[in-house]
Structure 1
Amino acid sequence: MNFALKKLTLTAALASALLAPLAGQAHRMWLLPSATVLSGNDPWITVDAAVSNDLFYFEHFPLRLDGLVVTGPDGNAVKVENASTLRYRSVFDVHLTQEGTYRIAVAGHALFASYKVNGETKRWRGTAESFAKDVPANSDELKVTESETRVESFVTRGKPTTVALHNTGHGLELAPDTHPDDLLAQTPARFRLLLDGRPAANVKVSVVPGGIRYRDQLGGIETATDADGRFTVKWPAPGMYWLEASTQDAQTNVKGATSRRATYAATLEVMPQ
């Protein structure tokens, strides 16, 4: 497979991941830290980032790191070290120089369009900046979808803190009532979903434990947010879990877009009681 074809195939796969509800499809986007709770004088973590069929296995495509931001316990951005994109995964290191909780996030924004030219259906995907240049303004049956994505995980050195958990006010985000690095098996945890900083009501939430390669069934948990955007998860067992949610509305941020899909995914570690 030549380079151009590889790039086209990767773009198509990521576009599918952005547009479809994440739990209902084969390809899932995730970040996986080597540890979520650490101590010691000089802790580091390595984070894997991938788009895969089976959770937390590298067998499809790397997750690109263009929108990667690590927020430290003081609320400031933390330098990422040794970042590299490999054949099946991206990888990077984070030096945890401060005590407290870090938020690791890859956020993305894209447009997807379908239209007709001389009766022939065309499809396009790209950035808001290239939309006006690439898509004819007088296209027939033009439909444009804006996509906002956020993929996260959380890591704590020492005592958990909350400054890094503050939301940006853009897209679909998690505002945890229970700290994401203080999750225990058989113990309910409460979370809140926000859309553009406001409660995201009636949004379906799926939680899937890792290791699905070795199970006949996903073993997932399905729930939904209430009117205030809150939902509760009771973890059946210790381990790594993948939480996802998505919603669609007409609150677009780009002129010409007719709908918006906002998606959120997080990797969480649940400890034994």
Structure 2
Amino acid sequence: MNRSVFKMAALSMVLALPLTAHAHKMWLLPSATSVAGADPWVTVDAAVSNDLFFPDHFPGSLDRLVITGPDGQPVKPDNASTGKYRSTFDVHLVQQGTYKIAMVNAGVFASYELNGEKKRWRGNAADMAKELPAGAKNVEVTESLNRVETFVSNGKPNDVALKTTGDGIELVPVTKVNDLVSGEAATFQLLLDGQPAADLKVTAIAGGVRYRNAPEEVEATTGADGKFTLRWPHPGMYWVNANTQDAKTQVKQASQRRVAYSATLEVLPE
């Protein structure tokens, strides 16, 4: 698969993800979330999978990767590679503090009729006008913004990299992301376009679902201030997800927007 075809296929996969925690899940999985030492590194896997944290479906697109360092500046990944089922890359943690590692996927989905047949197109908003055929009728466009994140700290954590952008759903930790402990409550806030996101359902799923008969889920709902609290049943890596639909589109032709957020968080033993 050449690079341009892969990019379109990866974007199409992201835009096609249903807004449910039970469907294919896009995730980032770091080899560690807290490190120290003279020359620390982490390796990160990126994938879309059926079984959480087991790459079995499609690799994550590294073209959408954004790494923010503890000083708020961009950080380049090292040793990036994309295989059949997952992408991997290394992050050299040369600064003390917290790094935010994210994949931000934005695009549009269009359905239309051409010569009496129903057609579909997925891609970037900038390409839609030239890609849709001139004779397309009954065109319906949906905008999509999907943000996937994880956090890694070298030494003492800080919050400079956690600054939000005001675009889509974003997470603001109230309990620090390095202080999540099994059996203890942790509080976070969700923002939608920079404002508190009220009444959003949040689902946290523990890793290792392949070895359980049913996903082990913890659910919460955001309050008027966008805050929610989760109590972790046991240690491990968790995938936290929230999503919504609205009509706050930035693409002129779109009538609907689908917005999703997910984060991989590590919960430590008591």
Q: Tell me which interval the TM-score lies in, with the shorter structure as reference length.
A: over 0.9
Residue aligning to 2:22: 24
Q: Does 1:256 align with 2:253?
A: yes
| Offset of residue 10 of structure 1 | 5.5
**For 2:263, which of 256, 260, 266 is the aligned residue?**
266
Distance 1:236 1:11 in 2: 34
Distance 1:118 1:148 in 2: 31
Q: Does 1:176 align with 2:173?
A: yes
Amino acid across the alignment from 2:245: Q
Stretches (4+) displaced over 6 A = none
Pairing 1:93-108 to 2, within 5 Å after superposition: 93-108=90-105
Distance 2:32 2:138 in 1: 49
Residue aligning to 1:232: 229
**Coordinate RMSD, CA, aligned:** 1.8
Amino acid across the alignment from 2:116: G
| Offset of residue 140 of structure 1 | 2.8
Residue aligning to 2:214: 217
Residue aligning to 1:141: 138
| Offset of residue 16 of structure 1 | 2.0
| Offset of residue 123 of structure 1 | 0.7
How many residues in Structure 1 have an aligned counterpart in Structure 2?
A: 268
Distance 1:106 1:12 in 2: 15
**For 1:122, which of 88, 107, 119 is the aligned residue?**
119
CA contact (8 A) 2:166 2:194 kept: yes
Which blocks of at least 5 consecutive residues in structure 1 are unaligned? none
How big is each residue's C-alpha offset from its partner over 1:184-237, in whole Å with a ceiling of 9 and x where there is no partner? 111111111111111111111110000000000101012211111111000011
How big is each residue's C-alpha offset from its partner over 1:102-161, in whole Å with a ceiling of 9 and x where there is no partner? 100010111001111232211111111111112246643221100001100000111111
| Offset of residue 171 of structure 1 | 1.0
**For 1:45, which of 42, 45, 48 is the aligned residue?**
42
Distance 1:39 1:3 in 2: 39
1:175 is paired with a residue of what secondary structure?
Answer: strand
Residue aligning to 1:85: 82
| Offset of residue 24 of structure 1 | 2.8
Distance 2:53 2:227 in 1: 27
Deviates more, 1:106-115 or 1:7-16: 7-16
1:24 is paired with a residue of what secondary structure?
Answer: coil
| Offset of residue 87 of structure 1 | 1.1
Q: TM-score, length-normalised on structure 1? A: 0.93
Distance 1:137 1:171 in 2: 31
Distance 2:230 2:119 in 1: 42
**For 1:204, which of 201, 226, 239 is the aligned residue?**
201
Call closer, same or farther: CA 1:198–1:95 in 2, change over 3 Å. same
Which blocks of at least 5 consecutive residues in structure 2 are unaligned? none
Distance 1:229 1:11 in 2: 29
